[in-house]
Amino acid sequence: MQSTIRKNLQNAIDLKQQLLSDEFTVNLIVEMTEAIVRAYRNGRKVFFCGNGGSAADAQHLAAELSGRYYYDRPALFAEALHVNTSYITAVANDYSFDDVYARWITAIGQEGDVLIAMSTSGNSPNVVKAVAQANENGMVTIGFTGADGGALKEACDLILRVPSTDTPRIQECHMHIGHTLCEIVEATIFPR
């Protein structure tokens, strides 16, 4: 038991250390932040999507922007695409689970909006289809993946590949970086 706890803590530290030492990643996070700030300043919206733990992470990050992060300020529009369970179950049942996010984007995605697609494999079909539809709608597409990047690697405008194949450790980095994005977006749009 203790060895598992130590191994996981050490792996998380090592992975974060790798991200910290990688200038490319730090600059990429800056670019992502700038894209989100630009969208909000143009009156656009930010959407997140993912499956399983990444759906929870998508919802968590959307709430940081739409509610508040560190301090009181006006709301920013942000939403995770899976939050309407009636819609998701109807479209999955009547069409296909692969279409649940892409179909919703055909209705809501406007040019200049941002989609942040979270998938550790980069290959979840519903997330990959969402990015393809978002690109078609002229949205800015940001991918959060693991080391391989999968199909999202080529499909997204900006792609953050966490250098690991361990799903939970990758997700923890996605949340860490997602929180940092929220912090900088909040501080840039609503300086104190």
Ligand X SMILES: O=C(CO)[C@@H](O)[C@H](O)[C@H](O)[C@H](O)COP(=O)(O)O
Annotated binding site for substrate: 51-53, 64, 93-94, 119-121, 124, 171
Question: Judged by CB under 6 A, which of 167, 183, 188, 189 binds ligand X?
Answer: 167
Which among 69-77, 94-102, 118-126, 175-183 is the span making contact with ligand X, rule CB under 6 A? Answer: 118-126
* Burial (CB count within 10 angstroms: exposed 0-12, middle 13-18, buried 19+), residue 182: buried
**Placement of tokens 């998508």 in the chain:** 58
Which among 7-15, 73-81, 166-174, 178-186 is the span making contact with ligand X, rule CB under 6 A? Answer: 166-174
Residue by residue, DSSP assigns 147-167 as SS-TTHHHH-SEEEE-S---H
Question: Judged by CB under 6 A, which of 121, 133, 141, 164 binds ligand X?
Answer: 121
Q: Of ligand X, Zn ion, none, which one does residue 120 interact with (CB within 5 to 8 Å by kind)?
A: ligand X
* Residue 120 interacts with ligand X (CB under 6 A): yes or no: yes
Residue by residue, DSSP assigns 104-117 as HHHHH--TT-EEEE
* Residue 133 interacts with ligand X (CB under 6 A): yes or no: no
* Residue 166 interacts with Zn ion (CB under 5 A): yes or no: no
* Residue 53 interacts with ligand X (CB under 6 A): yes or no: yes
79 Cα distance to chain centroid: 11
172 Cα distance to chain centroid: 12
